[in-house]
Amino acid sequence: MVNSTHISYFTLAAYFDTGVFKYLFFTIVMCLYVCIIGANVLLIVVICVNRSLHEPMYLFLCSLFVNELYGSTGLFPFLLVQILSDIHTVSAPLCFLQVFSVHTYGSVELFTLGIMSYDRYLAICHPLQYNTRMTSNRVAFLTVFVWVYSVLASVVMMSLSVPLQLCGNIINKVYCDNYSIVKLACSDTTVINVCGLVYIFTVIVALIILIVYSYMRILRVCFSGCKQSRQKAVSTCTPHLASLINFSFGAFFEIVQGRFNMRKIPNIVRIILSSYWLSCQPLFNPLLYGLNVTKIRDICRSLAFW
């Protein structure tokens, strides 16, 4: 048993010795991180500079891309250091800082995708009322609310996790996450478990209901409307739906891996899937929207030729 007062670092046990291949893995991860930064920064600049893109959908996209930069920065620099390191340990303050970053990223991502689904519902199902319902002030309020709420929720979670008495310091992952730390606790975790359940059933379930309701109404328009309205609905919703499915897949496996025994799955597969939602989502979104949203694609193409 390890007393909590003596825990100054955590050991990340999911890493394994790759020998000389660690330099290859470092190069691959570094290239992925550079691509993520370049793609997201490019689209943020394109949306901010072009006034024709100062519409609700693109402003929500801009917030989404900022969050991709934030989330990937909470993982990749840390991951690059650990790949080259022979001793995979991390100090307790840095571990909790990463927990805060990962939790905030996931919250902002889910909130933003939920709001974007409602935005698409208004644009397709109530086009004549869209400009009065989704005003610039409302867009600004929703964006600020998402970030402020996510940060406050992460602060509350950290205030409950940090004081826990821990009886171990081994985390079976390649990065720190809150559930792995809570599992090491030998003190009472009732409060943090209850808060987690309340958060799941009040916030996450509410967002899922909002997303499902929005797409049910959108599908109704698609099946009952003319061919032109169906094409417009499909073209505007496909990128968002693909992003939502991609994020849900990564988050689902992250939850499953934390709650169930996954030892039968090869270690390298578990590492890739556990970091999927923090690595592939930030690269997937800018490529998806940059290639499929007509206005963004045309502006990026004109910049390339310029």
Can you give the pLDDT at residue 3? 45
The separation between CA 209 and the C-alpha centre of its own chain, rounded to angstroms, equals 19
**Token duo for residue 35:** 């691509």
**E strands of the chain, at which residues?**
9-12, 89-91, 170-171
Residue (of 46, 48, 47, 40) closest to 69 by Cα position: 40
Q: How far apart are CA 142 and CA 136, in angstroms?
A: 10
Can you give the pLDDT at residue 289? 85
pLDDT at 87 over 90: no
Average pLDDT over residues 63-72: 94
Can you give the pLDDT at residue 4? 46
pLDDT at 117 over 60: yes
Q: Which tens digits make up the pLDDT trace of 181-215? A: 888 888 888 888 888 888 877 788 888 888 889 88
Specify the residue for token string 């100090």.
91
Average pLDDT over residues 251-272: 72
Specify the residue for token string 């079976």.
172
- Complete edge-to-edge strand list for the sheet that includes strand 9-12: 89-91, 9-12, 170-171
Average pLDDT over residues 269-289: 83
What whole-number percentage of the chain has pLDDT above 70?
A: 91
Q: How far apart are CA 114 and CA 91, in angstroms?
A: 35
Give CA angle at 288 (287, 291), nearest 5°. Answer: 75
Residue 20 backbone dihedrals phi, psi, to 5 degrees: -70, -15
Q: Which tens digits make up the pLDDT trace of 208-252? A: 888 889 888 888 877 776 666 667 777 778 888 888 888 888 888
Q: Are residues 98 and 78 in contact, defined by beta-carbon separation less than 8 angstroms?
A: yes
pLDDT band at residue 137 using 50, 70 and 90 as cut-offs: very high
Q: Are residues 75 and 213 in contact, defined by beta-carbon separation less than 8 angstroms?
A: no
The separation between CA 48 and the C-alpha centre of its own chain, rounded to angstroms, equals 22
pLDDT band at residue 304 using 50, 70 and 90 as cut-offs: low
Q: Could you tell me which residues come within 8 angstroms of residue 169 by beta carbon, excluding any fewer than 6 positions away?
A: 2, 7, 9, 10, 11, 184
Specify the residue for token string 């799955």.
265
Domain locations in the chain? 4-305
Please give the residue that has the higher pLDDT: either 153 or 298: 153
What whole-number percentage of the chain has pLDDT above 90?
A: 27
pLDDT band at residue 261 using 50, 70 and 90 as cut-offs: low
pLDDT at 6 over 70: no
Query: Does the domain spanning 4-305 belong to CATH 1.10.10.60?
Result: no
Can you give the pLDDT at residue 204? 81
Dihedral (CA of 21, 26, 31, 35) sign: positive
- Average pLDDT, rounded, for the chain: 84
Q: Using DSSP, state whether 170 is helix, strand or coil.
A: strand
DSSP state of 183: T
Q: How far apart are CA 67 and CA 147, in angstroms?
A: 9
pLDDT at 303 over 70: no
pLDDT at 125 over 70: yes
Q: How far apart are CA 173 and CA 16, in angstroms?
A: 11
Average pLDDT over residues 8-35: 86
Can you give the pLDDT at residue 263? 66
pTM of the complete model: 0.89
